[in-house]
Amino acid sequence: MKLYALTTLPLFAVIALAACGGIDGDDAERFGPDGAELESTEQAAVAAAWAPYTAYAVNAEVTYGGVTYRCIQAHTSLPGWEPPIVPALWQPVSGTSSTTTSSSTTSSSTSGAGGSGGSGGSGGGGGSGGSGGSGGSGGGGGGKKVIGYFAEWGVYGRNYHVKNIDTSGSAEKLTHINYAFGNVVGNRCALGDTYADYDKAYSAADSVDGVADTWDAGALRGSFNQLRKLKRKHPHLKVLISLGGWTWSAGFSDAALPANRASFVSSCVDLFIKDPRWAGVFDGIDIDWEYPAACGSTCNQRPEDTQNFTALLAEFRSQLNAARPGLLLTIAAPAGLDKIEKIQVGQIHRHLDFINLMTYDMHGAWERTTNFHSPLYNSGSNPAKALKYSTDEAVTAWLNGGTPASKLVVGVPFYGRGWTGVTNANQGVWQSAAGAAPGTYEAGIEDYKVLKAKGHPGFTHPDTKAFYTFNGTEFWSYDNPASLGVKMRYIKDKALGGAMFWELSGDTANGELVTAVKNGLR
């Protein structure tokens, strides 16, 4: 598919955040059979005005600010997704002077990420047999891994850039950064957003090393260049490209088939490891397939995904070893027992350097009863206890399946999930709710830094060890430094490999949560 980079560049987060509407991969056609760009002045006269909370199909036309736009990705609109600021969804067809397409790559497409707030998790809402070395020296805490996801689209609406990882003090505390996401299209790997990845020019003030990007032929720009600079400043850091996520996992099942597997893996290694344009940026590949042999954002899975997933990881391991010794291979792994049972837990760890458990998104406002979205433990009083959605139950399942403890990395969220219209009883815990609490980018979800600033009364649940806030009507479940400290102690007590989190932009400007993770793992 083509990417359109307009004057105001794409907020690719919107596609990841849209846990709604069937997002397909087809672009609207802009050109007639003679190659001329189609005009739509006749349609402009009848096109309806853009409106939030409206389902738009591909090729639907709207007007906004005197300009007619055509929908290029099916979605349900939300406030803040006006056509001029989300060209990932809308293409102007009249009333504007120009449009430009972004630089082409091996392949490209719009971006998506793990559900809304995380990279999928275990709930309904919503990453050594390997030869890559631990990558755990330097940074981190106590030799444990501290892995943070960096969301490609954060450079737009969130205004979060690679430099923020450094200025927050987080870079020196991390061991690994997972760059989210690369796409899987037509049995090949693809870049998600070429502009954000390697074309966006950073000024000296916004650059990691204080040196502005150039437009010299062959010069690398964008987040890839900033990551290269960050690694030069913090040589202990390892950076992995994460493939798939909640929105972009639909292509894995076909790509993992025996007939496609080797060429698919080769395309990924060629694009992210061998491509000379960003040589040395990536130290490995993180596979975030949501989910093998189970429904994710789509339900195009097949039963043989179970075996094919193992074989796919073996192929990645083989080709990465051949490309360069020491390259890392990891996965973002489910925490729900219904999905874990579809994976050959006792086999896949042989091909992997470590396994990032998505122990979050276990509950959310898609349910009408409040609950904790990343509890450490379950509770006998939990009305949903039969689901066995807790960090400890997920860790236990992976350990019992044969995964070495040192390869298991526990995921924690840097965001919360919330409800509004909550019954004022039991501090809002396990109470009925009217719906999702308002959020900055999507209802029912909010960054830690925003939730902290709300100042709502906070509590820690005695059974689950989960932190939550409740102000009489609004209930939010999220981790704070204290609850993270309890989870880090759990990781140490279990001799696990470390902690992973989704995602960096949710933290405070001074990296409060990253600091809590690092200090807790000492």
Q: What is the pLDDT of residues 201-252, one digit of tens each?
A: 999 999 999 999 999 999 999 999 999 999 999 999 999 999 999 999 999 9
> Each residue of 441-467: pLDDT tens digit?
999 999 999 999 999 999 999 999 999
Going by C-alpha positions, the residue among 515, 261, 240 that lies closest to residue 354 is 240
Q: Is the pLDDT of residue 399 over 50?
A: yes
DSSP state of 267: H
Do 422 and 470 form a contact (C-beta atoms < 8 A)? yes
Indicate the pairing of strand 408-413 with strand 354-357: parallel
Q: Please state which of the ranges 137-146, 295-304, 385-394 shows the lowest mean pLDDT.
A: 137-146
Q: Specify whether 290 is catalytic.
A: yes
Distance CA 29, CA 50 (A): 20
- CATH number assigned to the domain covering 145-520: 3.20.20.80
Q: How far from chain centre, in Å, is Cα 449?
A: 18
Q: Which residues contact 172 (CB under 8 A, 6 or more apart)?
A: 139, 234
Q: Are 270 and 262 in contact (CB under 8 A)?
A: no
Give the pairing type, strands 467-470 and 458-460.
antiparallel
Residues carrying CATH 2.10.10.20, the chain:
13-94
Confidence of residue 56 (pLDDT cuts 50, 70, 90): confident
Residue 264's H or E segment, with its range, is helix 258-268
* Beta bridge partners of residue 49, listed in sequence order: 63
User: Would you say the C-alpha torsion 418, 360, 152, 75 has a positive or negative sign?
Assistant: negative
pLDDT at residue 431 above 70? yes
b/e 379-403 (16+ beta carbons within 10 angstroms → b): beebebeebbbbbbbbbebbeebeb
Catalytic residue among 61, 82, 172, 290: 290
Residue with tokens 């000024």: 203
- Residue 68's φ and ψ, nearest 5 degrees, are -95, 135
Mean pLDDT of the region 171-188: 98
CB 273 within 8 A of CB 308: no
For the chain, give every residue range classified as CATH 3.20.20.80.
145-520
pLDDT tens, position by position, 511-521: 999 999 999 99
Reported confidence tier of residue 138, pLDDT bands at 50, 70, 90: low
Which whole-number Å values give the CA distances from 231 to 102, 108, 132, 163, 236, in the listed order? 27, 25, 18, 11, 7
Classify burial at 336, counting beta carbons within 10 Å of its beta carbon; exposed 0-12, middle 13-18, buried 19 or more: buried
Chain-centre distance for alpha carbon 279: 23
Residue 284 and residue 320 in contact, taking contact as beta carbons nearer than 8 Å: yes
Average pLDDT (426-454) is 98
Note the residue count of the chain.
522
* 7 contact partners, CB below 8 Å, separation of at least 6: none
H or E element that contains 460: strand 458-460
Check whether 387 has a pLDDT greater than 80. Answer: yes
Alpha-carbon span 351 to 304, nearest angstrom: 19
For residue 273, is pLDDT > 70?
yes
Q: Count of CB atoms within 10 A of residue 456's CB?
A: 17
Residue labelled with tokens 């090949």: 188
User: pTM for the complete prediction?
Assistant: 0.77
3-state secondary structure of 266: helix
Question: What pLDDT does residue 88 have?
Answer: 60
State percent of the chain over pLDDT 90.
74
pLDDT at 485: 98
C-alpha torsion sign, points 275, 170, 450, 289: positive
Which pLDDT score, from 0 to 100, does residue 77 have? Answer: 77
- Asked whether residue 8 carries a pLDDT value surpassing 70, the answer given is no
CA distances from 25 to 88, 109, 140, 251, 264 (A): 12, 8, 39, 11, 18
Helix (H) or strand (E) holding 358: none
The topology (CATH level 3) of 13-94 is: Seminal Fluid Protein  PDC-109 (Domain B) (2.10.10)
